[in-house]
Chains A and B, each alone.
Chain A
Amino acid sequence: MQRNITLSSLLLMTLISSCSTTRVDEEVNLPFELIEGQSIVILSDSYHTGNKTEIDFMNCLNKNLKRKQNKFNLIPTNQFKDDFYPWFEPSTAPQNAEQLPKFLKKQVIKNKLENLKIKYIINITGETTTNSSSGALSCAAGPGGGGCFGFAWWDDTSSYSASVWDLNEAIVVGNVSASVTGTSVIPAIVIPIPILARTQSNACEGLSNQILAFFS
């Protein structure tokens, strides 16, 4: 009996963990170096370009990069936007490295970047989308109690890429990306049991590890 329960749990765990796949990629365009004490900031592409990177994802990335290293100083995204207001707002921020020289011409921006020792901007694009969903789940409640019955599932893809911009040279020194696909299911026999594929948090983990490996 005990063995059956253990086997069932193992099978269930295998099923749950096999529900998502991760793909990471790295591309280095030019040689670069990050000296200890220099700063980095993470920004996301503007919604004016159609980008939909979620606030949660940016918060997760900031938190992970701050926690996992002490080589560089990470300036939190919101603090950076406030310090450089209004030059990194959705309508004013540079959308690619080619637009950086125009920004660096402004002496006030250049001075502030130098004061804060900001060497690189990591520009994030991507989002989490639901590709397909199916199944049916219905719940009902009455005086004698309630319950749910059915089975629903959906596929999520979290695909993000980070472009590393060198502020001194105004060029892209490299790109890293992480893409996670996963299937979430909710079987319900009286009680619904959600088995969720945490694609966004896995992509955050994958991308932050990629960024750290890039700078190591």
Chain B
Amino acid sequence: MLKRYLQRLNETIMKLSNRIASFLLIVLIYGCSQSLIISTNIPSPLVNQVDNIRVLVNYDENIINYQFKSTNIEKNESPWEIEFNDSHKKLFDKILNGFFNNSIQMESNSEPLNDAYYIVINIKLDKFEFLTPSLASNDKYSVWLKYDILLTNTEHEYSEKWNITGYGEQETASLNQNQALINAIDLALRDTGANLTIKMEEEMESIVSAIT
């Protein structure tokens, strides 16, 4: 009887200690992780709007809702969790609505329209990379963004693939590290908008001629 009681007690202690160890491990892993929420506000671009061009925009899932989770690259580096929400989508919405007064976002799995001439723009996030001061041995955060953008017309006679990039950096100086990285991401998103605007202006003539 006593032997059975001691065995049960031993099993309970073992279970409890396993749970405590797991809990401590979770606290150690996630307690040190750094979470950021990005809510970049991109202004409307100061550009000439093009009338009478119908644009259908098809966003990839990683544009609509992107979450970045880093793995521990170095022992002294805490993992990062960056919630972009719809910051990428808002960026492209602002730029495209600045150029075209008639742009519509395609619903997922919807069939493309066949009764009108329009430009379809497919946008996908290809890369998001960043360097921290400890990884780069300097005192700044650097952020790179790369997007694949495919433009086609109804008959697919016109097809253009653009690689649009964005870069942002922020010195740590008096900022805390989370704020410095948020600022660097904000700058990279704004830079993407700047590069897309420049590309759009360069290519606008061929876009217009593709559907007229």
| Least Cβ–Cβ distance between A77 and chain B, in angstroms | 14
Q: Are A85 and B175 in contact (CB under 8 A)?
A: no
| A108 in contact (CB, < 8 A) | yes
Residue of A nearest to B174 (CB): A56
Contacts of A108 in B (CB 8 A): 46-48
Q: B92 → chain A, closest Cβ, in Å?
A: 13
A168 CA / B202 CA spacing, docked (Å): 27
**Is A63 located at the chain interface by the 8 A CB criterion?**
no
CA distance A92 to B167 in the complex (A): 12
Could you tell me the distance in whole angstroms from the C-beta of A144 to the nearest C-beta in chain B? Answer: 31
Apart from A54-B171, A85-B42, A85-B44, list 5 A-B contacts with CB within 8 A.
A55-B173, A56-B174, A86-B197, A91-B194, A92-B198
Q: Once the chains are docked, how many angstroms separate the CA of A97 from the CA of B73?
A: 44
B174 touches A85 (CB 8 A): no
| Cβ-defined contact, A89 with B190, below 8 A | yes
Contact B46 A109 (CB under 8 A): yes
B171/A52 in contact, CB under 8 A: yes
Instruction: Name the interface residues of A49-96: CB closer than 8 Å to any CB of B.
Output: 52, 54-56, 82-87, 89-92
Evaluate contact between B43 and A83: CB separation under 8 angstroms: yes
**Which single member of B167, B173, B187 contacts A54 (CB below 8 Å)?**
B173
- 0/1 string, B19-59, CB within 8 A of A gives 1: 00000000000000000000000111111100000000000
Contact in complex: B191, A90 (CB < 8 Å)? yes
Specify which chain A residues have a CB less than 8 angstroms from the CB of B42 in the assembled complex: 85
| Most central of B174, B187, B194 by chain A CB within 10 Å | B194
**8 A Cβ contacts from B167-186 to A:** 167-169, 171, 173-175, 183
Specify which of A52, A55, A85, A91 is in contact with B46 (CB 8 Å cutoff): A85
Does any Cβ of B come within 8 Å of A47's Cβ?
yes
Q: Which of A117-133 contact B (CB under 8 A)?
A: none
For the complex, what is the distance from the CA of A109 to the CA of B42, rounded to whole Å? 18
A112 at interface, CB cutoff 8 A: yes
A83 CA to B190 CA, complexed, in Å:
13
- Contact B173 A85, beta carbon cutoff 8 Å: no
Residue contact B193 to A85, C-beta cutoff 8 Å: yes
Residues of B within 8 A of A112 (CB): 46
Chain A residues whose C-beta falls within 8 Å of the C-beta of B78 in the assembled complex: none
Max count, chain B CB within 10 A of own CB: residue among A83, A92, A112: A92
The contact sample of 16 A-B pairs, CB cut-off 8 A, is: A47-B169, A52-B171, A54-B171, A54-B173, A55-B183, A83-B46, A85-B43, A85-B44, A85-B45, A85-B193, A86-B45, A90-B187, A91-B194, A92-B198, A108-B46, A108-B48
Q: Are the CB atoms of B191 and A89 closer together than 8 Å?
A: yes
A109 to chain B minimum Cβ distance, whole angstroms, is 7
With an 8 A cutoff between CB atoms, is B195 at the interface?
yes
Of chain B, the residue at the smallest CB distance from A93 is B194
A86 touches B173 (CB 8 A): no
Compute how far the CA of A87 lies from the CA of B197 in the bound complex, rounded to whole angstroms: 10
* A-B residue pairs, 9 tightest by C-beta: A86-B194, A82-B43, A85-B43, A89-B194, A92-B194, A86-B197, A54-B173, A108-B46, A86-B193
Q: Nearest residue in A to B94 (C-beta to C-beta)?
A: A85
Please determine whether A56 and B173 come into contact, CB atoms closer than 8 angstroms: yes
